[in-house]
Structure 1
Amino acid sequence: MATMQDVARKANVAVSTVSYALSGARPVAPETARRIRAAMEELNYQPNAMARGLASRRSHTLAMTFPSFDTAMGETVFEIVRGAQHEASRNGYNLAVWPLEDAEAGAELVNLVRQGKADGVLLVEVGVEDPRAAALKRARLPFVMVGRTADPTGLAYVDIDFERTVDDAVGELYRLGHRRIAFIGRPASQTEAGYGPAVRGRQGYLRAVGNRALAPLAYDCDANPQAGQAIARELAALEEPPTGIVVMNDMAALGMLAGLRAMGLRVPRDVSVVGAVSSPTLGAMTVPALTTTHAPGERMGAFATRALLAILDERLDPADCHQLVTCAVVQGESLGPAPERGEADVGSSSEKTSG
């Protein structure tokens, strides 16, 4: 099936010129319009009626929506919103954050676009099986995910490469000599609900330790300092406690570091800690300063907005918009070499996986 890009190439014009000729949004020279019509006829191009209508009768509003995954907005999410808002404004659009009930979110989003209240949708905090994405896909409406479903084939997305980020954190601890490396993840309720970061972070850890022939020690943890303190006590009480910890839970990290200190464990002399998909703000709040890996939230929000606008103009096929981003390391003081045997109460291996 021919696309607008094919017509533009055949007529030797920009894709935007084809869009203007179809929508009437801007004048197109008669000779140029004739070439475009000839190319359309030759390629048997059938313009999407809804896309033509949106091009000429836009609200110039983009809807951004979040589900309730029993999670508070972290700093990265606020950065995503900020980046999306700046990019939308730069292109003459408004960004509206739309609160919706999860059970009806998909249908409500479809109605928002069909009723002309929003031209397209930015889905944030995506589940591996996300009904919002399924509803918009069935309705053939324009949307971009900040996150991704289990099978994002044909869908536009930008997401953090959680698997690589956690693997990098485990790899750095391994390089420093650590062989008992624990993972503190998101709440169990988020994993059970299919929240993408919770699922992919844990999967990435299990793959990372498996690839290095290490025994897994993975915990789900509620997102509050008290739960982090409880995890610290549980780890310290193990017969063979970990010497390295990857924590992908900012609120739990605050309590865990305090809990380790209360148990007489020194960071990083006795145990090293790295915050995965975290923020420099968290690192600055802890003692010692936590080494973190920080996602480029503003860049992700801006990318998703540009992609959505390009899809609206038929300059981009959603199937061609797959972007994974990596996290930058923000150095703190919580990483060090594995302690020598006898320096801490450690053993040689662990086979416990806790959830």
Structure 2
Amino acid sequence: MNIGEIAQRAGVARSTVSYVLSGKRTVSDPIRQRVLAVIEELDYRPNAAARALKEGRTRTLGLVIPPATQRLTDMQLSFVASVVEAAAHADFDVLLSPSGGDHDRSFERIVTGRRVDGVLLMEIRLEDDRVTRLQQTGLPFVTIGRTADPHDMWWVDIDYTILIARCVHHLADLGHRHIAFINRSTELVAAGYGPGHRALTGFREAVSERGLTGVDACCPDEATAGETCLGQLRADHPRTTAVVTINEAALPGIQRALERAGLDVPARFSVTGVAARHWAEDFRPPLTAADVPTLDMGAEAVELLLARIAEPEASPRQLLHAPPISLRASTGPVPRNPG
């Protein structure tokens, strides 16, 4: 069965059937219903378009991810997996679309192409053009992360300011006075990446409150960069006895740098931060950290989006996570003879 046979049975032109399926042009309701009746009778399903037109939905959610040219971190992949699983439980498919750089056309097709019922947006910046574009279209969307002014939005996020501050206070309670913070990449932070800015704020506020000496550095999301970054920090600031990080991809390199320097953890150096649980548990010794609940957050984001699709005029809902610090084995009292 093809479009020509559908057109013949419905008594319309082939182009009319195409317009009904694509929605590119307006077709009068009687003719549209006649074409849809033939489509249903013949069970013609070249794609999801016919069902989408009948139900007014595609039963597909768009998930906008970082550009495909960048390697996704394990935390990002965990969010993707949790969103796909939660959507499947609700009988929805997920259409992945990169954004940024050369991928703006892909994002625009998601926004305007009637391919999805709603959008989930990851890796939010404090000022995010993608958020502005979605607000203009009226397409339901939920963000994993939040902008600088998120009050009228639907979102789920981690309270990086509070969590990094807690890590600093934990180290200060152990007697550490010289602490370093390893952030995400320079490019991300310069672009206004929300977690990077909020974590840095939490670090500086806690350092000031406790009267500590604090230094911070940006680091690309890779182990070799983590090794280089920690080595440079210790060279420039030899009195540093502890490090806090949100850059989980750099953790293996941080561990290698400490081993190479002969600094036993936590006897001579302490490490803590915010990371997905498996990163924390794979660190040696296991990392004292705030464990990011990626599975819960992905499921919550899907739940919020489905609620927004069902009730477009509902008041915005937000979920801000601040999980407790899981005390493992990577932090200890400040060494008597640092270095």
The TM-score bracket by the shorter chain reads 0.7 to 0.9
Deviation at 1:238, TM superposition (A): 4.2
- Contact in 1 for aligned 2:167/2:325 (Cα 8 Å): no
Q: Please state how far the C-alpha of 1:264 moved relative to its aligned partner.
A: 2.4
Question: For residue 232 of structure 2, what is the aligned residue in structure 1?
Answer: 234
**How high is the TM-score relative to the length of structure 1?**
0.74
Q: TM-score, normalised by structure 2?
A: 0.77
Residue type matched to 2:284 in 1?
V
In the other structure, the counterpart of 1:225 is 223
Q: How does 1:1-355 map onto structure 2 within 5 Å? A: 56-68=55-67, 72-102=71-101, 105=104, 109=107, 111-238=109-236, 240-274=238-272, 276-314=273-311, 317=314, 319-340=315-336, 343-345=337-339
Q: How much identity, in percent, do the aligned residues show? A: 31
Supply the distance in 1 between the matched residues of 2:189 and 2:68 (Cα, whole angstroms): 9
Confirm or deny: 8 A CA contact 1:125 1:195 kept in the other structure: yes
Contact 1:224/1:251 (8 A) holds in 2: yes
1:129 Cα offset (Å): 1.3
Flag structure 2 segments of 5+ consecutive residues without an equivalent.
Answer: 1-51
| Residue 251 of structure 1, CA deviation | 2.6
Shift of 1:215: 2.6
Whole-angstrom CA distance in 2 between matches of 1:289 and 1:170: 18
SS at match of 1:98: strand
Secondary structure, aligned partner of 2:98:
coil
User: CA offsets, 1:84-123, max 9 Å, x none?
Assistant: 2222222221112123454663x75455354321011000
- Deviation string 1:274-306 (CA, Å, 9 cap, x unpaired) is 1x2212322343332322321111111111111
* SS in structure 2 of the partner of residue 197 of structure 1: helix
Residues 316 and 241 (structure 1 numbering): CA distance in 2 closer, same or farther, change over 3 Å? Answer: farther
Shift of residue 180 of structure 1?
A: 1.2
Q: Is the 8 A contact 1:307 1:316 kept in 2?
A: no
* CA distance in structure 2 between the aligned counterparts of 1:181 and 1:280, rounded to whole angstroms: 23
Find the counterpart in structure 2 of residue 5 from structure 1: none
Write the distance in 2 (CA, Å) between the matches of 1:253 and 1:60: 39
Q: Distance in 2 between matches of 1:75 and 1:216?
A: 28
Q: 2:120 aligns to what SS in structure 1?
A: strand
**1:35-92 deviations in Å (ceiling 9; x for gaps):** xxxxxxxxxxxxxxxxxx9994100100001234986322322222222222222222
Q: Alignment length, in residue pairs?
A: 288
Instruction: Tell me whether 172-181 or 110-119 shows the greater mean CA deviation.
Output: 110-119
Tell me if the contact between 1:87 and 1:305 (Cα under 8 Å) persists in the aligned partners: yes
| CA deviation vs aligned residue, 1:117-174 (integer Å, no higher than 9, x gap) | 1011000111111111100111222100001111113111111111111011111111
- CA-based RMSD: 2.5
Conservation of the 8 A alpha-carbon contact between 1:110 and 1:141 = no
**Highest relative contact order (Cα 8 Å, sep 6+), 1 or 2?**
1
